[in-house]
């Protein structure tokens, strides 16, 4: 059986079918174009290291990370010039992630090509986000 290469949507975001678990997330990361692939692998590894009991899924063509029974705390999405990392309850994090949202609860940070991310800060946000109730669709 031959595997089809996922279609890239606008901004280079991979079109991956909805699915639960690590498999769909790894398929998404494998299909991330160019420099975004390595950045996605690094971010996924950092999340797994920082939140060992993380639950993963792909929803709306984006990887989601959450805690069983507490909802989703993070997602990311490819855009043309950056990867947008969403903390669904980011307004509760300290310091605040740098990019605001129309949603008063959400905050973002962006990963750009050739830009080092502050892994210590991201780990702190991950620990904080995983410890509070996350986003539950429909609520």
**Can you give the residue range of the structural domain that contains 120?**
11-131
For residue 1, what pLDDT is reported? 45
Segment (H or E) for 129: helix 119-131
In the chain, the number of structural domains is 1
Contact criterion met (CB below 8 Å) for 75 and 13: no
Residues 6+ apart with CB under 8 A from 89: 73, 105, 106, 129, 132, 133, 134, 135
Residue 10's pLDDT is 76
Task: Establish if 6 belongs to a structural domain.
Answer: no
User: Would the pLDDT of 118 be above 90?
Assistant: yes
pLDDT at 75: 98
Q: What is the CATH number of the domain that holds 58?
A: 3.90.1150.200
pLDDT of 16-53, one tens digit each?
999 999 999 999 999 999 999 999 999 999 999 999 99
Asked if residue 62 is part of any domain, the answer here is yes
Tell whether the model's pLDDT for residue 106 goes beyond 70. yes
Structural domain includes residue 71: yes
Q: Write down the pLDDT at residue 73.
A: 98
Tokens 């991330």 belong to residue? 32
Q: Is residue 88 part of a domain?
A: yes
Please give the full DSSP string across 3-71, using - where no structure is assigned: PPPPPB-GGG-B----EESHHHHHHHHHH--THHHHHHHHHHHHHHHH-TT-EEEEETTEEEEEETTTE
Considering the domain boundaries, does residue 93 fall inside one?
A: yes
Nearest partner of 63 among 81, 84, 34, judged by Cα: 84
- Portion of the chain with pLDDT greater than 70, in percent: 97
């Amino acid at each position: 059986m031959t595997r089809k290469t996922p279609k890239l949507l606008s901004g280079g975001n991979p079109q991956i079918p909805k699915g639960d678990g690590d498999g769909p997330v790894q398929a998404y990361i494998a299909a991330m174009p160019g420099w975004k692939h390595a950045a996605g692998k690094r971010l996924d590894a950092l999340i797994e290291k920082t939140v060992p009991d993380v639950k993963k899924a792909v929803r709306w063509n984006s990887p989601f990370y959450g805690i069983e029974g507490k909802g989703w705390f993070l997602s990311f999405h490819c855009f043309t010039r950056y990867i947008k990392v969403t903390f669904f309850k980011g307004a509760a994090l300290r310091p605040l992630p740098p990019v605001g949202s129309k949603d008063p609860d959400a905050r973002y940070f962006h990963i750009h090509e050739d830009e080092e991310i502050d892994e210590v800060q991201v780990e702190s946000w991950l620990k904080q986000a995983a410890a509070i109730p996350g986003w539950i669709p429909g609520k």
